[in-house]
Structure 1
């Protein structure tokens, strides 16, 4: 299968790498350092079960793409529309377009720009770019994909590549559940530079996490999304299950990259304002990250 990965970062390189290892023809679209490294040395797929250099093809823009059978869009949420514009006119009617992105509305935003159906996907993986062309896998890797005419065949193809897949009939609930988890931990991990394990040991953190989650659940339910009453108990148990995980927002701040906080806690704040629901904890967490970003900009100036 001809596969294009638009956004060759930690998520795109991990899943694209597994598809490449399974024998699919994968082209990675990413930033120059990663593109140069992949073209020169292949993609280094460094997982919890194997470490392998895979010959691969990469480019900095979509003009290098032949009409693909499958596109994995893995760009940051702020770059969704740009990615859609770059794909417009390059897809066949039967091309499957998947959004493997944080947040709850990227599939709709992408579809509106590219004029093509988009299948939302929720990603459960811990991975990072350890260097140019080097993706390091820390754990997890399952996907939940939205229902569509192509979803069953796509799930079979992904499973054959060693990727755990479920088809989520209620994909909005799955998307919001992941967003709420991100709202609980991403900002705190980022601002403190702390992994999930020791986070709740700090006095008051559990209360902050609980408040942020309750606000987000209220917004989700007011948006018509069903979230179970015991979901907060599951969230508070995550640091025990993933003690060494640093949030993607923490990784962005550490690398001096713009975060997705406006599409995580910021999304809850915006939707809450539309629905008349107060979200002061999520707003505080959003502002904390944006202040940290501004501080890093000032130190680089």
Structure 2
């Protein structure tokens, strides 16, 4: 396949790099500092099983999506519409756009921009960070859950060592991921501690339970059938990613705006619309927003 990664940060670099290693033609659309490093040395992929310089193309222009079969859409939730408008003039009619983003409504928001194109939602379970320009570090997992409209690319992803499941309930899987993010991300961001240390903090398990219960109440009111066992998924994050800092923590550490409005903030807004109290989510959301304003 010919693949472009729009918004090639840690998540996009990881999945784009895995596809490039499997022989696909991949272009990462990233910040100039990453583009320069990748052009000079390739993408350094430091993972649990290998540490390689992977050769692929890189660009800072949205027009690099032209002529691709697949676009991995990996921008922050705050940039969904703007990035969609940037790639729209360059997309071929049959290009599949696969959303590898946090939050539960990005595919719907992107589809509203890319009205004549196929946009598919995916749930991403991977722990990664950018350790430097053109250097992605992988801490764990790497599996995807995708909608049936993306089933055609699933075999290529699996062959590239990206475990991929096609599901009829991606909405429920996105909500499961949202609940995990709501439970872990803000606490990791506020404390600047990894999951393993936050989860054993005094009172944190009770806080996480309150956050999860609020999320489940909102999901039920929204008619969402949350996929899987929430409590088991919460434990799995602790077991498989104890050293990982949340993406929200990484954003705050770098002085960047986080996605908290699309995580705990979304639960607060949806809960308010449904008449459901979400005090634990509201506190976490408001504290992260305060930390963001402090940086400004």
Give the TM interval when normalised to the shorter protein: over 0.9
Give the equivalent residue in structure 2 for 1:60.
60
What's the CA shift for 1:237? Answer: 5.5
> Aligned equivalents of 1:240 and 1:158: distance in 2?
25
> Aligned equivalents of 1:63 and 1:234: distance in 2?
38
Superposed CA RMSD in Å reads 1.5
- C-alpha change, 1:24 and 1:229, in structure 2 (3 Å) is closer
What's the CA shift for 1:91? Answer: 1.8
Give the equivalent residue in structure 1 for 2:230.
231
Q: Which moved more, 1:66-75 or 1:229-238?
A: 229-238
> What secondary structure does 1:87 align onto?
helix
What's the CA shift for 1:201? Answer: 2.5
* Cα deviation digits, residues 208-257 of structure 1 (max 9, x gap): 11111100110011111123795235425632342212111111111111
Q: Is contact 2:185–2:249 with CA below 8 Å preserved after alignment?
A: yes
Q: Which moved more, 1:60-69 or 1:187-196?
A: 60-69
> Aligned equivalents of 2:97 and 2:229: distance in 1?
33
> What secondary structure does 1:191 align onto?
helix
Give the equivalent residue in structure 1 for 2:140.
139
- C-alpha change, 1:229 and 1:211, in structure 2 (3 Å) is farther
> Aligned equivalents of 2:136 and 2:143: distance in 1?
17
> What secondary structure does 1:98 align onto?
strand
> Aligned equivalents of 1:248 and 1:229: distance in 2?
23
1:70-81 matches, within 5 Å, as 70-81=70-81
Q: Is contact 1:268–1:282 with CA below 8 Å preserved after alignment?
A: yes
Matched, 1:198 2:197: yes
Point out where structure 2 has 5 or more consecutive residues left out of the alignment: none
What's the CA shift for 1:25? Answer: 0.9
> Aligned equivalents of 2:135 and 2:237: distance in 1?
27
> Aligned equivalents of 1:19 and 1:4: distance in 2?
10
Give the equivalent residue in structure 2 for 1:126.
127
> Aligned equivalents of 1:136 and 1:292: distance in 2?
26
- C-alpha change, 1:68 and 1:176, in structure 2 (3 Å) is same
Q: Which TM-score applies when normalising by structure 2?
A: 0.96
Q: Is contact 2:173–2:226 with CA below 8 Å preserved after alignment?
A: no
> What secondary structure does 2:277 align onto?
coil
What's the CA shift for 1:89? Answer: 2.6
Give the equivalent residue in structure 2 for 1:86.
86
Q: Is contact 2:265–2:285 with CA below 8 Å preserved after alignment?
A: yes
- Could you list the runs of 4 or more consecutive aligned residues of structure 1 that deviate by over 4 angstroms after TM superposition? none
Give the equivalent residue in structure 2 for 1:219.
218
> Aligned equivalents of 1:157 and 1:268: distance in 2?
34
- How many residue pairs get matched? 295
Q: Which moved more, 1:244-253 or 1:259-268?
A: 244-253
> Aligned equivalents of 2:227 and 2:52: distance in 1?
41
Matched, 1:41 2:22: no
> Aligned equivalents of 2:133 and 2:258: distance in 1?
20
Q: Is contact 1:210–1:232 with CA below 8 Å preserved after alignment?
A: no
Give the equivalent residue in structure 2 for 1:29.
29
Give the equivalent residue in structure 1 for 2:207.
208
* Cα deviation digits, residues 246-301 of structure 1 (max 9, x gap): 1111111111111100000011011111111111111110011111112223xxxx
What's the CA shift for 1:30? Answer: 1.1
What's the CA shift for 1:81? Answer: 0.4
> What secondary structure does 2:89 align onto?
coil
> Aligned equivalents of 2:228 and 2:168: distance in 1?
20
What's the CA shift for 1:46? Answer: 1.2
